[in-house]
Each structure stands twice: as structure tokens, then as C-alpha cells.
Structure 1
Amino acid sequence: MSHATPKAIDALMKIPRGDFIPHELADGAYADTPLRCSRMGFNISAPHIYIVCLSELDIQPGQKFLDVGSGCGHMTCLGGYLVGPYGVSHGLEIVDEIMEFGRNNAIKFSEKSGIDLSNVEFKLRNCFLPDPEETIYDRINVGSTCPKQMVKVLLRSLALGGKLIAPVDDELRVYSKDNNGNITKKNLLSVRFSDLTIPTDEELQRAEFMSQRSKSLRINVPNDNIFQSYGKLVNSDLCTDFTFLLYDKQIYAHRLFLQMRTPKYFQTVEELKVVELPSELKYNGLIGVLEYIYSASMPMETLKVQDLVQSREHLTAVMDAAKYLSIDVLAQYCQDLLTLYNGVDVETDERVPITMTMKNQLQASRDDEKKLLQVQLSELLTKPKSPPGSTITLSAGGSKIICHKVILECRSTFFKSFFTSGMKETFSELIEIHGPFELDDFVLYLKYLYCGDEFIINNDNIVDILRIADYFNESCLKSCCERFLSSSIDNDNVCFLLQTSSNYNATQLKRVCIERILEVSQCQE
């Protein structure tokens, strides 16, 4: 048992083998021997093999784990327990009956033990065929012998810094991929396993064809995370009109966001442009609060015990700054995490005791704050009561719309070029907007800019929104429109949508339309 680690043994004690084997094999549940389930046609490895594999893989909280040949589901559930609520564990099978057996075992054990295994998922697919989701895993366990020439196929799904353990020939081997993608291997011990099922050449070719076709029909939407966009305004001099001073350091801010996000504090500094903060506050604490103000970002929980000391210090700094700036919800959130961490002994405990329920509650708190920020941003358009000097007026379709320069410049390359070109728009407080769109559609576009709401799109306005996205060179919004339209392509509208895609430079939609036309033509032949 030289390979055994306390973490691996703990996992096997918490999730015992006996709850996963078929009833006819119950007598051998805890014998250190492999078991053959003849009824369904699969094997269950001996417990000492599980310990060797788990110890060598050294599965960490938050990782993605793949169990190839999941069988009874035992190893898949052990992986789910070790990756914890922030990780995922996938079991892969090629026989539906076996996959369902493993899935049912996981469900029954979770209900019986109270151990939350909702991060465990079973999938039906041969490991050598393309993964439609193209998931990359941190740890991979292979439960059957893999031909030497096929190991490279499995390694494609292994993340940088990852480990894969598999029987190859008569050796149990662990493969490690470093951060540069270089592979090293180590032989552990001699073993005998059943063989993985290798797809035929025809199956491989068909699967590869279907995978490539699926990719060609996929609309890729660029990441347009408004919270990341606004997060870039933290301590940014872009349109800044307010400065914090903290022991000789200048931290830039924006009165608009302070008024919107911490109105109680803003009332105390409304007439000021520079505020000196008490030296008891920490710089990283103030930055943490500003991240909340601009992007609703809140500190993530710590998964590793060795990181707790640093995390406690950071949470305390953020909590103190949040209290000073009268942001009660953030201060309480930090206090709740600190209370949780206070029960952890960094010298003896191996895990931070965060359950799936706790994780979901913390995530719900963060999601609620992001939704609140989106509502507040949306209200800026309808209730434009803002600090002096923070607004700019757009004239479009005979109407005047009060907007906010910092938001337009932060969120739109079109408007950023307006404000930084050195032309008259750079200095004007009234900007004329002309284009091939109606006023209502322009207002919807502004709403998208402010709060990232792609639900402005519907069946009635989809082409109009695509037109305005093209005009303002809004690639993410355009891709959202393309995705919306591609989901409704049929033989009757494909030619219209092809023309629409050409009119508004929607290249992804155009590709999908051409694929559909070619498919219809081949069927008719």
C-alpha cells in the first residue's frame, strides 16, 4: 500500500465499494480482488487498484475528472467527492445498460449517505470518438487496457498540468502533461484489465464527419461579459471625475457609479472630487469594494486549506472597506465567509467544508448582485438622474436621449472612436446619430450596451437588431442575432436568411444557410 494517500483512503471510506456492486456479487464486496459482473459484461477493479489510481492522480477540489469505462459508477463517484462542489466528474460508457446501472448507483448512494453527488454525470460515448462538448479534463482515469497507439487520442482531452492513468499493455501507467504540453510517463505496476472497445474505421470517419458538420453549423458568440467590461473601469482614468487618496496612492473612480451603487456614502461626498480615506483601510480592500461597485464582483470562496490565511486577510480588508463605504450586503457576505473559515484548522484539516448547498447559496448571492447591477444600469436610461458632468445627449430620430459618456465609451468601440477622435464629437455635449434604423431599435441597442440584455431580440425585431448591430460594428450582438436566426432556418426561409446575412455581413449565418442549401440539394439528388 505504498502508493496510498490519506485523501484516497478517506474517499474510499466515505464512499464504500459495497454500495456499487451488483447484488449477486455482495459476498465479495470488500475482498481485495477484482469482480466480474457477467450479467452486464464488465469488471470491477480490486480496491488496491482504486487506491493506487486515486493516489497517483491526486485529484484536487474544483478540477474536471473523467472516468473512462465507468462501469458500476464507483470510481466516478469517488472522483465527484474529491473534486467537490466546484468540480465535475464524468463517467463514460458505451453500453446503455451499464451506464444506467452506474447512474442509479450514484443516485441511490447519494440519497442514502447524504453526500451530494450532483456534480457527477454519466455519458454514453466511446472515448475514442469526438466529444461534442470538447471538454478538457484535469484528471483522467481509464478503467480498461488502452492500445499504446491510442493513448495519444485520450491525451488530447487532458489539460495542461493534468494527469491520465491507464493500463497500457500489461502496465498501469500515469501520463503527465506539463504546462508546455510535454508528456512524461511512469510505469506503476503490472496489471491485467479487459480491453477498451476500439471503433471501426467507418465509425471513426462518420463520427469525425458529424463532428465537423456540427462545428460548421455552430454560431460562436464572442464573450461580451458586461461585468468584465465595467470591471475595467476599476481605478481607471477613463472619464474619471472622482479620486480616493489612500496613503499617497490615487485610486480613480466615477461619481456616476458611486451614486448608483452606494448612495448612502455618496451623499456624504457628493460635493467633493477628492476624498482622503483613513489609513486603517487596505488598498486591496478598497479595490475589492470597487470591483463590487463596478462589476458586482464578490470574493470567491477558497477551496484549498493552504490558501486560507491569505483569503482571511483579503476578506477582512474588503469587509472593512465595504463598511466604510456603507455597502452592507458586501460586508455581510465577507463576514459569512470568514465565519465559515473560522471553523477550519489550517494545520490539520485537508478540506474547506463547503457543501454543494453552501456553494449554491453563495453563487445565488453573487447572481442576485449581478442582476441588481443590471437593473440599476437599465434604470440609468429611464431615470437619468446623474451627477453633473457625467451625461451626454444623443439626438436620434428627432428625439434626445440622455446617456452617460463613461458607459458608452467603455462598452462601444463606435462611441469610443467618437469621443477620442479629436473631432467635434469629442467636445460636444450633443451628438447627432444618423443611421438606417428606427428610434425604438436604437433605444433597444442602448439598453443592450448598458446592461448586456440580449433578450431585446425577438421574432418581430430580429432583422432590425441585426442591421443596427452591423451599423455599430457590435460583433457580440450580431452573433446573438445570427444564433437566433439560425435556430429557425427551414427550407422556406433559408434563401431569405442567406440574403439577409449578405446584407448585414453576418458571415456565420451565411455559412449555416449555405450548408442547409447544400444539404437540401443533396437530398433532392
Structure 2
Amino acid sequence: MAWHCNGVTNQEMVAKLKSAGIIGSDKAEDAMLAIDRGKYCHESDPYLDKPRKIGYNVTISAPHMHAYALTMMTEQLSRKGAHALDVGSGSGYLTACMAHMVGSGGLVVGLEHIPELVEDSRKNVELDRPDLVQDGRIKFVVGDGRLGHEADGPYDAIHVGAAADSLPETLVSQLAPGGRLLCPVVAIQGFQRYQDFVQVDKNPNGSITTKKLMQVMYVPLTDAKAQLANLN
């Protein structure tokens, strides 16, 4: 069902994602209605349920993946004063959805290693939801996503929008007790190479629980030089 949740408008896209059971919480639905994907995806038909290019060899993920992520992080993002980190924030869309969910008093950091994308994401949010910037609940930082952003941690929720070669322990270390990290991780079985979407929970005692959710396909989590190597 996921790939059939296309819409002509943002509202239609969200309605189809909810009908398909992909949006699984009222707060995730509210966020995706409040943040207009069309303000962050500047190609034609921005509400199609597929990844779209945003430049610099990266994409904005398909809406169904954002819906899954927001649903699975709802509890963590709903905590009073929650801090969250969006690694590989790209267009700023998911960062803005997360910022809507944490509410006033919370903070979401969008971390991106391409300065031009950071500037684009700031502009996108200013055009769509300037209040998120004005009340200080969202900010964008240039940096290596593999290293996270310790300054504003620990985080109740961390989303990684690119596939890591192995579970990024540096990011796991920046989770708060009770926090959750979602990250695509490369897996190899025989001659087959694929990606698992992995959920990592830090238990109150500091122990870690991991769970493979589904197979996905994301761009690699790498440095800026490697990402831009084949840029035309």
C-alpha cells in the first residue's frame, strides 16, 4: 500500500497514508497536515509517494517513510521539552514535522553536512512555518551526521535519513535514557547487500535494545566529499 499513497494535495496524501495504516498516531497525522511537503519538495507533483531529488546527490524520502518514522517516534517526541536530532535533514521537511510534534519548549536539530542544503532548509521552514524558528524549537546545523551533535543532546529521538555501514554507536551514545533512534543500516547476506531499517531503544538503565523493522533503500551515510563525488 505504501507506494500507492499519492495525492494531488498535502491533505489527500496524508489521508491516504492514514487509510493505509501507515500513519499510526494522531500526532503524526497532525504534524504531516501542519507541514506542507510541497514547500520542501520543489519538483512537480510533490505529493507523490516516492523519493524526490533535492540536489547534491540526495533525496527527500517518500512520504510513507516519513509517516512510519513519525509514528514510531511519537511517544519520544511528545515528551515535555523533548530534544530530537534529524541526521541528514536535507530539505528540512521531517525536521519541521518533528519540531511541530515536540511543541513549544522542545528542540529539534536538523544536522546536514552540505551547507547549501542547510540554507535551503532554513528558507523552506521560514516560508512554511516561521513560528518554528521564532520560538526556538528548530535549528539547522552544518556538520558530519555520523558524529551527531552532542551540544544539544542527549536526545529523546534521533532519526537518520541515510544508510550507515554499521549501527552508529556515536549516535546511540547521544540518546537519552528512554530515547529511540531510527536508522537504515547496511546488511550483507551472501552476495546480497541490502538495508534494514533499525529501531534502537535506550532503556532507563542504559542498556540497548535493537529491532529490525523492514528493508529499505536510502542513500549512504557518508562524508560530504564522497556524496558530491559524482555530482553532475
| TM-score of the alignment, normalized to the shorter chain, above 0.5 | yes
Secondary structure of 2:145's aligned partner: coil
Match of 1:184 in 2: 209
Secondary structure of 2:146's aligned partner: coil
What CA distance in whole angstroms lies between the structure 1 residues aligned with 2:148 and 2:46? 35
Counterpart of 1:95 in structure 2: which amino acid? I
Which structure dedicates a bigger proportion of its chain to strand? 2
CA contact (8 A) 1:106 1:117 kept: no
Match of 2:222 in 1: 197
The CA deviation at 1:198 is 4.8
Count of aligned positions? 193
Match of 2:12 in 1: none
CA contact (8 A) 2:182 2:198 kept: yes
Match of 1:43 among 56, 59, 62: 59
The CA deviation at 1:130 is 6.9
Match of 1:164 among 181, 185, 195: 181
Counterpart of 2:197 in structure 1: which amino acid? L
The alignment status of 1:124 with 2:124, answered yes or no, reads no
The CA deviation at 1:110 is 1.9
Counterpart of 2:83 in structure 1: which amino acid? K
TM alignment of 1:377-456, pairs within 5 A: none
CA contact (8 A) 2:160 2:182 kept: yes
What CA distance in whole angstroms lies between the structure 2 residues aligned with 1:131 and 1:67? 10
With over 3 angstroms needed to count, the CA separation of the structure-2 counterparts of 1:68 and 1:9, relative to structure 1, is same
The CA deviation at 1:128 is 2.8
Counterpart of 1:124 in structure 2: which amino acid? V
CA contact (8 A) 1:62 1:83 kept: yes
The CA deviation at 1:40 is 3.0
CA contact (8 A) 1:76 1:91 kept: yes
What CA distance in whole angstroms lies between the structure 2 residues aligned with 1:100 and 1:199? 15
The CA deviation at 1:118 is 3.2
What CA distance in whole angstroms lies between the structure 2 residues aligned with 1:128 and 1:187? 20
The alignment status of 1:11 with 2:36, answered yes or no, reads no
Larger radius of gyration: 1
Secondary structure of 2:168's aligned partner: helix
Secondary structure of 2:129's aligned partner: helix
What CA distance in whole angstroms lies between the structure 2 residues aligned with 1:9 and 1:91? 21
Match of 1:147 in 2: 165
Counterpart of 1:35 in structure 2: which amino acid? R
With over 3 angstroms needed to count, the CA separation of the structure-2 counterparts of 1:136 and 1:188, relative to structure 1, is same
What CA distance in whole angstroms lies between the structure 2 residues aligned with 1:134 and 1:51? 25
Match of 2:115 in 1: 96
* Greater length-normalized contact order (CA 8 Å, ≥ 6 residues apart): 2
CA contact (8 A) 1:80 1:117 kept: no
What CA distance in whole angstroms lies between the structure 1 residues aligned with 2:117 and 2:223? 18
Match of 1:34 in 2: 51
Unaligned runs of 5+ in 1: 201-525
Counterpart of 1:2 in structure 2: which amino acid? G
The alignment status of 1:175 with 2:195, answered yes or no, reads no
What CA distance in whole angstroms lies between the structure 1 residues aligned with 2:148 and 2:200? 21
What CA distance in whole angstroms lies between the structure 1 residues aligned with 2:154 and 2:63? 27
The CA deviation at 1:28 is 2.6
Secondary structure of 2:65's aligned partner: helix
Counterpart of 1:16 in structure 2: which amino acid? D
What CA distance in whole angstroms lies between the structure 1 residues aligned with 2:143 and 2:100? 23
With over 3 angstroms needed to count, the CA separation of the structure-2 counterparts of 1:135 and 1:83, relative to structure 1, is same
**Alignment root-mean-square deviation, CA:** 2.0
Secondary structure of 2:212's aligned partner: strand
Match of 2:21 in 1: 2
Match of 2:97 among 78, 81, 85: 78
CA contact (8 A) 1:67 1:140 kept: yes
Q: Deviations over 1:119-153 (max 9, x none)?
A: 100001102337462621110010000121x4212
Match of 2:88 in 1: 69
Q: Deviations over 1:179-203 (max 9, x none)?
A: 0111111222211000011599xxx
CA contact (8 A) 1:18 1:30 kept: yes
Match of 2:126 among 107, 112, 115: 107
Q: Deviations over 1:401-460 (max 9, x none)?
A: xxxxxxxxxxxxxxxxxxxxxxxxxxxxxxxxxxxxxxxxxxxxxxxxxxxxxxxxxxxx
Match of 1:293 in 2: none
What CA distance in whole angstroms lies between the structure 2 residues aligned with 1:107 and 1:118? 12
What CA distance in whole angstroms lies between the structure 2 residues aligned with 1:130 and 1:32? 28
Counterpart of 2:181 in structure 1: which amino acid? L
Match of 1:57 among 73, 87, 90: 73
Counterpart of 1:92 in structure 2: which amino acid? L
CA contact (8 A) 1:159 1:177 kept: yes
Q: Deviations over 1:195-250 (max 9, x none)?
A: 011599xxxxxxxxxxxxxxxxxxxxxxxxxxxxxxxxxxxxxxxxxxxxxxxxxx
Counterpart of 1:81 in structure 2: which amino acid? H
What CA distance in whole angstroms lies between the structure 1 residues aligned with 2:148 and 2:163? 19
TM-score (norm 1): 0.35
The CA deviation at 1:70 is 0.5
TM-score (norm 2): 0.77
CA contact (8 A) 1:77 1:117 kept: no
TM alignment of 1:287-436, pairs within 5 A: none
Counterpart of 1:123 in structure 2: which amino acid? V
CA contact (8 A) 1:110 1:117 kept: no
Which structure dedicates a bigger proportion of its chain to helix? 1
